[in-house]
Amino acid sequence: MFKSFGSRVLALTAVGIVVILFSRDLFPAAEEGLPDRPVSIIFFLPDGMGIGQHSMAYYLTDDYPFARFGQVALMTTHPHRRDRVTESASGAGSLATGEKIRRRVISMSPEGKPLETVMEVARAAGMATGVVTTANVSDASPAAFSVQHPSRYEQTAIARKMIRSGLNVMLGGGRKVFLSKRDGGENDSDYLGQLERGDAVQVLASLQDPLQPSRQILGLFDMGEMEDVARRNPTLLEMTQFALDRLEDDPDGFFLFIEEELTDSHSHNNLDAATLEAVQAVNRVTRYLLDYQAAHPEVLLVVAPDHETGGWFLEEKRDNPGRPKWATGSHTGNMVPVFAIGPGSGLFKGIIDNTDVGKIMLKYLRQKK
Ligand SMILES: [Zn+2]
């Protein structure tokens, strides 16, 4: 009796030690002794990457990196009306402005009022700013983080606004948006040539070009959306590394927006292998950003999609591996996971709305002015 009581105490003590060790692991020391707000913010948007894509990444790939985040929240993504399902302009706009936005509108209120974006507030605070995407640089999400426009589809006008906004780095696809119709593009004039002849913007042919100091950098590496993960050059990771190199020296800090587009495009087409490849590209960039954040603990890293696409899931197969299936070729209204690490990440918890993400980031950025 006594002996068994003793061994029970021993067992409970052992469990207690394991619990303490385990919970210390769950709350990384990176949060201790650091300011409660960030100097710089990296926002990574894997377009359309909801619980389905995350679950598949966990079940079907090695080394799912998202378990390393200290904070996780579930986020609602609806546009200005709760019973509607969102798309990228409205979804990204709410993340960037803290306000609800109509579908297809770039960071303007339902009444048509321009809404201040995180990039504008960051720049007003003297921070360096950049966008990196595998979509067109003027596509809905990078646009919504940067400027305002009544329609996401008027990309030539949006591209001009983004250049004029003073973004220090713009890397991605969408060369056709800057080229004249005569040259096979969509622009009324040769906007790319005009930028190349001016002295405000350096247009890169490759990430290896020698850099001209104090110019804005524009790299357009595909006519439209960038090629598949295996073929594209540069990769999202290479563009991310380049942008961080350029932005990180600003003494006032920086705001970098990064987007993987193919998690959305391939999910719309219900392509298992291609979507998984895009998810693995997201994993690689996330791993790099987690290491970067650990080496730069003044940086807040947030990873959140604008919405879920496809409703991807693993279907039960008795005694056989689960079979991937899709619920739809469209966006869904499902809540999506938001991950955060670094100073200020404590507010990313529980059930939050996409506008809360914008409000949290704007709060930190406005405190810097
Ligand atoms: Zn989207």
Q: What are phi and psi of 184, to 5 degrees?
A: 85, 10
**Beta-carbon count within 10 A of 274 CB:** 18
pTM of the shown model = 0.90
Quick one: which of 354, 358, 360, 359 has its CA closest to 76? 354
Token pair listed for 357: 């993400």
286-313 mean pLDDT = 97
Alpha carbon of 306 to ligand 1 centroid (Å): 5
DSSP 166-208: T-SEEEEE-HHHHSBGGGTSSBSS-HHHHHHHSSSEEEESSTT
The per-residue pLDDT for range 246-294, each reduced to its tens digit, is 999 999 999 999 999 999 999 999 999 999 999 999 999 999 999 999 9
Contact partners, residue 123, CB within 8 Å, separation at least 6: 129, 165, 166
Alpha carbon of 280 to ligand 1 centroid (Å): 18
In the DSSP assignment, the letter for residue 348 is -
Query: Contact 216/163 with Cβ under 8 angstroms?
Result: yes
116-144 mean pLDDT = 98
Alpha carbon of 308 to ligand 1 centroid (Å): 8
Ligand 1 (ion): which residues have CB within 5 A? 47, 88, 264, 306
Alpha carbon of 314 to ligand 1 centroid (Å): 22
Alpha carbon of 213 to ligand 1 centroid (Å): 34
Consecutive H or E run containing 226: none
Architecture of domain 38-368: 3-Layer(aba) Sandwich (3.40)
Contact partners, residue 208, CB within 8 Å, separation at least 6: none
The per-residue pLDDT for range 340-369, each reduced to its tens digit, is 999 999 999 999 999 999 999 999 999 986
Alpha carbon of 94 to ligand 1 centroid (Å): 12
Angle between helices 88-97 and 354-368 (to 10 degrees): 40
